[in-house]
Structure 1
Amino acid sequence: MNSTSTTVASTPGIMLLRVGQAGCALRWDALRQCWRWPDPIGGQLYAWPAPPAMPSGLRMLETARVMAFCSSGRILLGLGKRLGMVELPAPGQPSRPLQAQVLITIDAAEPRTSISDGCVDRDGNFVFGTANTAQDRRPIGSFYQYSQRYGLRRLALPAVVTAASIAFSPDGRRMVFADAARGTIMQCDYDAERAKVSGVKPFSDLMERGAGAGAAIFDSAGNLWSVQGGVLVQYDVDGQVLQQIALAREPAASVAFGGRRLDQLLVLGAQGGLYGLPPDLLNGLAPGLADSLFKDSGSASTCASRVVR
């Protein structure tokens, strides 16, 4: 585990859009060629640039903090304690509030937990974690893998206050994760087929103690991009800090590569601003990795809902 002090580069960013009240879970929608993100306060699902004949914002009947794209074209959402699917309207159709088809309720007997972070692994399974939303802030959050083939399987990772920073290396064999209430990004070996983890160890300390780990993604070179306390931090494969970038107007909330060549890096602000980074901060960066799609072919109603311990 390494952590090297670097200077924070403050930038106003290139303002692309400002909507909603909060930002989280920025993702590149390769099918529709746009970035998307949910606003958990305003109950909207936003897109930039807006697809042809589609509005930039779609109202949701339930709020979401976590999202992923599916092989069917639908969107998988973390809706509080539930995972659900929404179907986007076809271009030109009247816009109606998005109503999710509920797939499963997570940890139904524990009212304090809620889905806090997640992404699709390289094999098409959705891996996510939960947070303790109560005032006691006890570490009762867990990490899970969900698939239509196996249903819900709990990963044997340490309990957390708030699961965060879930991401997978380019080859899919290494997973990083964090407890947003702690000061370390962790890593482990990951077996997608068996939902097994091993070799849990620190990846790197957070740059500032108490900052809290947020969204994380890998680029094609294996570097990790991590949001920490509103600052974007880039690590190399060994956990050494390469650079830190702070938006001048608002704290960063999430980050995603996109564009046809995945060579555009956008940052979503905590207050709903979407920013591009100046060219001098992007020179020499490796392109991103395409998000894997959640494999949702077949009937969702046939999915198992048990937790395998």
Structure 2
Amino acid sequence: MLIRVGQAGCALRWDAAAQCWRWPDPVGSQLYAWPAPPAMPSGVRMLESACVMACANSGRMLLGLGKRLGIVELPQQGQPSRPLQAQVLVTIDAAEPRTSISDGCTDRHGNFVFGTANTGQDKRPIGSFYQYSQRYGLRRLALPTVVAAASIAFSPDGRRMVFADATLGVIMQCDYEPERAKVSHVKLFSELLEQGAGAAIFDRDGNLWSVQGGVLVQYGGDGDVLQQISLARETAASVAFGGPDLDQLLVLGAQGGLYGLPPDLLKGLTPGLADALFLDSGSASTGGSQA
């Protein structure tokens, strides 16, 4: 374990510009960084809870805030630390009070692709998948509805998307066209080894790393299991490649622990892929479409 902060872990991302990992704590309403940038605190308080995030090309951070996507300015070195207030970009599924953003990442072209979950007690499959961009706004992807969207990731060439319903025991895949927000040829990618699909990322060779409860699983591009790593201390929440050469693989625990792989498992590890930055226009507009 490298560090433990906050009360919960959620989405883990590598911020290449600041050379640090970042993750939101949806329980404590904090945005954490490790290692903390020089002369900056490791955590910054947010006015709203977030569980999904992406770095933007403007230097700002895109956050999934319940039913809304918002973007925040991070404090600069020497500035007083104050709570982060998001500029709202779009509200999702405004007429349905049970849904909330549950997972998301940028595609290889800088659009943000995310999904929602049913937070109600009925647990009906009413969650959906969407693409959001400053150019086209919010567009729903023609994928099956889910109880809880999870495991959204894109192949190195950006033409294949994987996704899952966290309540089921499989990871699915489809062809993906970013310009038209079109998906096709939906089919099975692989079955889970453990119940509870979580975050997923591709490495440079097209292998998929999948968080599944207390296990980190590496799949080949064809869906075959290559290896599995048990996580003894806490349930995993997310996984991300980082470091200057993207050759470090860290796992974020659901209770806020940040873990590195043992040295023997790092030998021969294929580096990851840099996250595409969300294409942020930086405009002052706070309007957004709804779906």
Does the alignment reach a TM-score above 0.5?
Answer: yes
Q: TM-score, with normalisation over the residues of structure 2? A: 0.98
1:303 Cα offset (Å) = 6.3
Matched residue of 2:285: which SS?
helix
1:304 Cα offset (Å) = 5.0
Q: What is the match of residue 99 of structure 2? A: 113
Do structure 1's residue 297 and structure 2's residue 266 form an aligned pair? no
Q: What's the CA shift string for 1:106-140, capped at 9, x where partnerless? A: 00000000000000000110000000000000000
CA–CA separation in structure 2 for the residues paired with 1:271 and 1:19: 8
Number of paired residues?
291
Maintained 8 Å contact 2:88/2:286: no
Do structure 1's residue 132 and structure 2's residue 131 form an aligned pair? no
Q: What is the match of residue 52 of structure 1? A: 38
Do structure 1's residue 242 and structure 2's residue 212 form an aligned pair? no
Structure 1's unaligned 5+ residue stretches are: 1-14
Maintained 8 Å contact 2:87/2:286: no
CA–CA separation in structure 1 for the residues paired with 2:66 and 2:283: 23
1:230 Cα offset (Å) = 2.5
Q: What is the match of residue 257 of structure 2? A: 273
CA–CA separation in structure 2 for the residues paired with 1:231 and 1:98: 33
1:155 Cα offset (Å) = 0.2
Matched residue of 1:294: which SS?
coil
Matches within 5 A, 1:1-309: 15-208=1-194, 211-299=195-283, 301=285, 305-307=289-291
Structure 2's unaligned 5+ residue stretches are: none
Maintained 8 Å contact 2:52/2:64: yes
Q: 1:303 to 1:290 in 2, by over 3 A?
A: farther
Q: CA RMSD in A?
A: 1.1
Q: What's the CA shift string for 1:229-250, capped at 9, x where partnerless? A: 1211110101011111122221
| Range with bigger deviation, 131-140 or 291-300 | 291-300
Matched residue of 2:218: which SS?
strand
1:183 Cα offset (Å) = 0.9
CA–CA separation in structure 1 for the residues paired with 2:23 and 2:192: 25
For CA contacts below 8 A with separation 6 or more, give which structure has more relative contact order. 1
Q: TM-score, with normalisation over the residues of structure 1? A: 0.92
Maintained 8 Å contact 1:149/1:303: no
| Range with bigger deviation, 27-36 or 244-253 | 244-253
Match for 1:283: what amino acid?
K
CA–CA separation in structure 2 for the residues paired with 1:215 and 1:293: 18
Matched residue of 1:301: which SS?
coil
CA–CA separation in structure 1 for the residues paired with 2:200 and 2:142: 20
